Chains A and B, each alone.
Chain A
Amino acid sequence: MEHYFYDGRDLSGTLESHYDYGLVVLSIAIAGLASYAALSVAGRIRAADSRHKRRIWLLAGSLTMGGGVWAMHFIAMLALKLPVAISYDVKITILSTAPVVLSSGVMLEVISRPKISKLILLASLLMGLGIGAMHYIGMAAMQGISQRLIMLFEPRLAALSVLTAVVLSGVALSIDFIVERNPKGRHTLGAKIGAALVMGFAVSGMHYSGMAATYFFAGDGTPAETTSALNTAALVFWVSFTSVLIASLAIFITIVDRRIQQATFEEAVSRFRMREAIESIPDGFCLFDTEDRLVECNQRYREIMNFGVPIAPGMAFEAIMRGAVRAGLIVVAEGEEESWLTERMARHRTPRENFVEHFRGDRWMRVSERRVWNTGTVAIRTDITELKQTEIELSKAIEEAQKARAVAEEANSAKSAFLANMSHELRTPMNAIIGYSEMLLEETRESGHELFAGDLLKIHASAVHLLAIINEILDLSKIEAGKMELCLEEIHLPSVIDEVASTVRPIIDKNTNILSIRCPDNIPSLQADLIKLRQILLNLLSNAGKFTHAGKIDFSVAVDNTRPENGWIVFAVRDTGIGMSRDQVDKVFAPFTQADNSTTRQYGGTGLGLTITKKFCEMMGGTISVDSEPGTGSLFIVKLPLAFGR
């Protein structure tokens, strides 16, 4: 085969040629497919996280693009039907792929860089030239089998064909460039296919316009010197093989690419959601990695820890804490910053329970730090200022209450001591008054001076009354100070009842009352304080005697076994005396509240008897109750447990 540039010869001898249009379409499809695969590979090159991967993808991309151009060229050559038999030189055929593989490599290297700008022009130029070089080297591999083949190239049209390749490459790469850097990043598939089609047209357009600039002539009859040549069948095989390879690669990369894109998109969505969630936490949130460097935090955390330097991922935990302490954000005693930080670091390394940090402006943060396995440490800061203030106020209030209580207790015990002393001091002269008046009374009577006996009797009675008051005040003060002790013993009730009855007899008789006593023979013994029981019964009976005139007083003792596990003794004193109104009943056990003041004058008594009686009942685990009606009489009921203190 001989190649010449067109020399103006007569073109009437041109070999007749026509195209198989099915193969033409196939050739264009292969070019588009290869372009799509190559541009997709550019995305993989971009995403590669190591040099090694980057090189592998770059190689695959270059071979795909180069192979694609090559396959396009030879499918198009198969589509061209010439009247002479054609074969292809093996070496030149293989060699023809070299320039386009290299230029594809450069092109991919350029478009996979983060910034390309003007380099894209160089890449387009190289790509166009690479395609052109492949085409013309591929043409040079063509040879006639039985007769020589002469090719004439029309130079201007040939140059135009290369320019077509350069321009369309530029357009394709520009589209790809814009699509890949589209910040919204979605629906790029269509644009990508567009870019691949344009690139495919750059390849096929160059080829077919180049073919339009080519004229074939038959040489003379001498057979060509055939080198090792590929016949049409072999070419079909290799071209098909390459095409299938490219198509498979394109499909494979498409699937992988879509999957990766999907995953990337989902990751972005999930990351966005996570960020939103973290930001919506009302507390300060932060995550530190295993190296104790900040991975993530929310705005609230930045506000809380705002020590003047913007808090950004990568900052060391210690640096943030140190910054916060230095800026006086966290309140730490002066001179103790280092030891505080040391302790804080230790606590951070082995977090156990929540703790509280005191911030400037009397703000309190509850800090909850947790180790997350293989990830680092998560911390939450919650503002508990209000809670803390309430707590402080509460503890102040408690302290004040305790102080007040201590003061009150002290005052109470001082009062008790004063009462005890005073009572004792009062009693001594009272003894003398009572003793001397008794003595005088005896002597007056013996010496016949009856004139003075009445007045002496009044002195004596008043002194006895005064002494009784003093004694009862003392009793009450001892009870209230909790100093009254119980002396429990086994009490034989019939003898106590006899004794009490004989003691009150004079009071009963004085108002011409009738006392009837009912006590079952088999009454059990009672566990109680004898002196106090005696005082209770004396009180009730003498009251009944005092407030009843010419009436009846019933004193009954009974056992209440309604609840077998703890039996009770019930003492009931019923009189037919003056009785009490509802109001009087309500106050009857309160100190110094005899029914009214005139009562005291008329009936005597201290006004403390029933108060003490009630206290004694309660001390022994019992109760006292009263039922009364004015003009009808009163009923006092005392219930004591049979076995108190046992």
Chain B
Amino acid sequence: MARILLVEDNELNRDMLSRRLGKHGFEILIAVNGEDSVAIAKTRRPDLILMDMSLPVMDGWKATSLIKADPLTRHIPVIALTAHAMDDDRQKALAAGCDDYDTKPIDLMRLLAKIRQFAG
């Protein structure tokens, strides 16, 4: 089964999303900030990364660009999770190297469709 790295600083959202995705049979890795996500991506080699953009220590855009710059991790698809509030987050996410994006609040069915597209 596919291994997904969920990068999310909010504890409730992290818990909720990881449990729901887990229920759909994915193996979930957790990172709580951008810096962690870069390290975990390198060591655990997930099949897909769900990246929140507003993160402490290192934000999602910076983390994504590092992941995409590293030959070891650049092949891993990254789906940005952006807040509805910020229109330009979407463009910024794609510019940083994200393969796709989805908006919060999460529509699980829509998100699952995107995940399966990259890590079927």
Q: Are A487 and B87 in contact (CB under 8 A)?
A: yes
User: How far apart are the CA atoms of A420 and B87 in the complex, in Å?
Assistant: 13
Does A471 make an interface contact (CB < 8 A)? Answer: yes
Does A339 make an interface contact (CB < 8 A)? Answer: no
Instruction: Point out the residues of chain B lying under 8 angstroms from A487, CB to CB.
Output: 87, 91
Does B1 make an interface contact (CB < 8 A)? Answer: no
Instruction: Point out the residues of chain A lying under 8 angstroms from B10, CB to CB.
Output: 428, 431-432
Does B20 make an interface contact (CB < 8 A)? Answer: yes
Q: Are B85 and A435 in contact (CB under 8 A)?
A: no
Within A408-447, the residues touching B (CB, 8 Å) are: 420, 423-424, 427-432, 434-436, 438-439, 442
Q: Are A474 and B85 in contact (CB under 8 A)?
A: yes
Can you name the residue of chain A whose Cβ is closest to the Cβ of B20? A439
Does A531 make an interface contact (CB < 8 A)? Answer: yes
Can you name the residue of chain A whose Cβ is closest to the Cβ of B105? A431
Q: Are B84 and A431 in contact (CB under 8 A)?
A: no
Partner of B85, one of A423, A438, A485: A423
Instruction: Point out the residues of chain B lying under 8 angstroms from A485, CB to CB.
Output: 87-88
Q: Are A435 and B87 in contact (CB under 8 A)?
A: no
Can you name the residue of chain B whose Cβ is closest to the Cβ of A428? B10
Contact with A along B1-45 (1 / 0, CB 8 A): 000000000101100110110010000000000000000000000
Instruction: Point out the residues of chain A lying under 8 angstroms from B112, CB to CB.
Output: none
Q: Are B16 and A435 in contact (CB under 8 A)?
A: yes
User: How far apart are the CA atoms of A54 and B35 in the complex, in Å?
Assistant: 118
Question: How near does chain A come to B115, taking the closest CB pair, in angstroms?
Answer: 16
User: How far apart are the CA atoms of A428 and B83 in the complex, in Å?
Assistant: 9
Contact with A along B93-120 (1 / 0, CB 8 A): 0000000000011101000000000000
Instruction: Point out the residues of chain A lying under 8 angstroms from B83, CB to CB.
Output: 424, 427
Can you name the residue of chain A whose Cβ is closest to the Cβ of B91? A487
Question: How near does chain A come to B82, taking the closest CB pair, in angstroms?
Answer: 12
User: How far apart are the CA atoms of A474 and B83 in the complex, in Å?
Assistant: 12
Does A467 make an interface contact (CB < 8 A)? Answer: yes
Partner of A439, one of B19, B84, B87, B104: B19
Question: How near does chain B come to A530, taking the closest CB pair, in angstroms?
Answer: 11
Q: Are A467 and B105 in contact (CB under 8 A)?
A: yes
User: How far apart are the CA atoms of A423 and B91 in the complex, in Å?
Assistant: 21
User: How far apart are the CA atoms of A467 and B104 in the complex, in Å?
Assistant: 11
Can you name the residue of chain B whose Cβ is closest to the Cβ of A421? B85
A contact face: mostly helix, strand, loop, or mixed: helix
Partner of B17, one of A420, A435, A442, A531: A435
Partner of B106, one of A429, A431, A442: A431
Given contact pairs A427-B104, A430-B105, A467-B105, A435 touches B84 in the complex (Cβ within 8 A): no
Q: Are A428 and B13 in contact (CB under 8 A)?
A: yes
Interface centre among A423, A439, A467 (most CB of B within 10 A): A439
Within A190-244, the residues touching B (CB, 8 Å) are: none
Within A512-537, the residues touching B (CB, 8 Å) are: 531
Q: Are A427 and B16 in contact (CB under 8 A)?
A: no
Given contact pairs A432-B16, A435-B13, A439-B16, A531 touches B87 in the complex (Cβ within 8 A): yes
Q: Are A424 and B20 in contact (CB under 8 A)?
A: no
Interface size class of A (residues with CB under 8 A): 20 to 34
User: How far apart are the CA atoms of A570 and B98 in the complex, in Å?
Assistant: 36
User: How far apart are the CA atoms of A608 and B108 in the complex, in Å?
Assistant: 27
User: How far apart are the CA atoms of A467 and B106 in the complex, in Å?
Assistant: 12
Instruction: Point out the residues of chain A lying under 8 angstroms from B20, CB to CB.
Output: 435, 438-439
User: How far apart are the CA atoms of A78 and B105 in the complex, in Å?
Assistant: 149
User: How far apart are the CA atoms of A10 and B85 in the complex, in Å?
Assistant: 158
User: How far apart are the CA atoms of A432 and B17 in the complex, in Å?
Assistant: 9
Q: Are B106 and A427 in contact (CB under 8 A)?
A: no
User: How far apart are the CA atoms of A487 and B94 in the complex, in Å?
Assistant: 15
User: How far apart are the CA atoms of A498 and B105 in the complex, in Å?
Assistant: 24
Can you name the residue of chain A whose Cβ is closest to the Cβ of B84? A471
Q: Are B87 and A431 in contact (CB under 8 A)?
A: no
Instruction: Point out the residues of chain B lying under 8 angstroms from A427, CB to CB.
Output: 83-85, 104-105
Within B55-93, the residues touching A (CB, 8 Å) are: 83-85, 87-88, 91
Instruction: Point out the residues of chain A lying under 8 angstroms from B16, CB to CB.
Output: 432, 435-436, 439
Q: Are A432 and B13 in contact (CB under 8 A)?
A: yes
Given contact pairs A427-B83, A429-B12, A435 touches B106 in the complex (Cβ within 8 A): yes
User: How far apart are the CA atoms of A487 and B88 in the complex, in Å?
Assistant: 9
User: How far apart are the CA atoms of A439 and B106 in the complex, in Å?
Assistant: 12
Can you name the residue of chain B whose Cβ is closest to the Cβ of A435? B16
Can you name the residue of chain A whose Cβ is closest to the Cβ of B11? A432
User: How far apart are the CA atoms of A22 and B17 in the complex, in Å?
Assistant: 154
Instruction: Point out the residues of chain A lying under 8 angstroms from B104, CB to CB.
Output: 427, 431
Partner of A420, one of B13, B23, B85: B85
Instruction: Point out the residues of chain B lying under 8 angstroms from A430, CB to CB.
Output: 105
Question: How near does chain B come to A181, taking the closest CB pair, in angstroms?
Answer: 103
Q: Are A432 and B12 in contact (CB under 8 A)?
A: yes
Instruction: Point out the residues of chain A lying under 8 angstroms from B84, CB to CB.
Output: 427, 471, 474
Q: Are A434 and B105 in contact (CB under 8 A)?
A: yes
User: How far apart are the CA atoms of A531 and B36 in the complex, in Å?
Assistant: 33
Instruction: Point out the residues of chain B lying under 8 angstroms from A429, CB to CB.
Output: 12
Q: Are A438 and B13 in contact (CB under 8 A)?
A: no
User: How far apart are the CA atoms of A149 and B48 in the complex, in Å?
Assistant: 170
Question: How near does chain B come to A428, taking the closest CB pair, in angstroms?
Answer: 6
Can you name the residue of chain B whose Cβ is closest to the Cβ of A532? B87
Instruction: Point out the residues of chain B lying under 8 angstroms from A431, CB to CB.
Output: 10, 13, 104-106
Instruction: Point out the residues of chain A lying under 8 angstroms from B88, CB to CB.
Output: 485
User: How far apart are the CA atoms of A474 and B108 in the complex, in Å?
Assistant: 24
Instruction: Point out the residues of chain A lying under 8 angstroms from B85, CB to CB.
Output: 420, 423-424, 427, 471, 474
Question: How near does chain A come to B18, taking the closest CB pair, in angstroms?
Answer: 11
User: How far apart are the CA atoms of A309 and B20 in the complex, in Å?
Assistant: 102
Within A432-477, the residues touching B (CB, 8 Å) are: 432, 434-436, 438-439, 442, 467, 471, 474
Question: How near does chain B come to A419, taking the closest CB pair, in angstroms?
Answer: 11
User: How far apart are the CA atoms of A13 and B106 in the complex, in Å?
Assistant: 171
Can you name the residue of chain A whose Cβ is closest to the Cβ of B14? A432
4 closest residue pairs by CB, A with B: A432-B12, A435-B16, A431-B105, A434-B105
Given A427-B84, A438-B20, A438-B108, 17 additional A-B pairs, CB 8 A: A420-B85, A424-B85, A427-B83, A427-B85, A427-B104, A427-B105, A428-B13, A430-B105, A432-B13, A432-B16, A435-B105, A436-B12, A471-B85, A474-B84, A484-B87, A485-B88, A531-B87
Q: Would you give 7 A-B contacts (Cβ < 8 Å), ordered by A? A: A427-B104, A428-B10, A432-B13, A435-B17, A439-B20, A442-B23, A484-B87
> What is the interface of chain B, defined by CB distance below 8 A to chain A?
10, 12-13, 16-17, 19-20, 23, 83-85, 87-88, 91, 104-106, 108
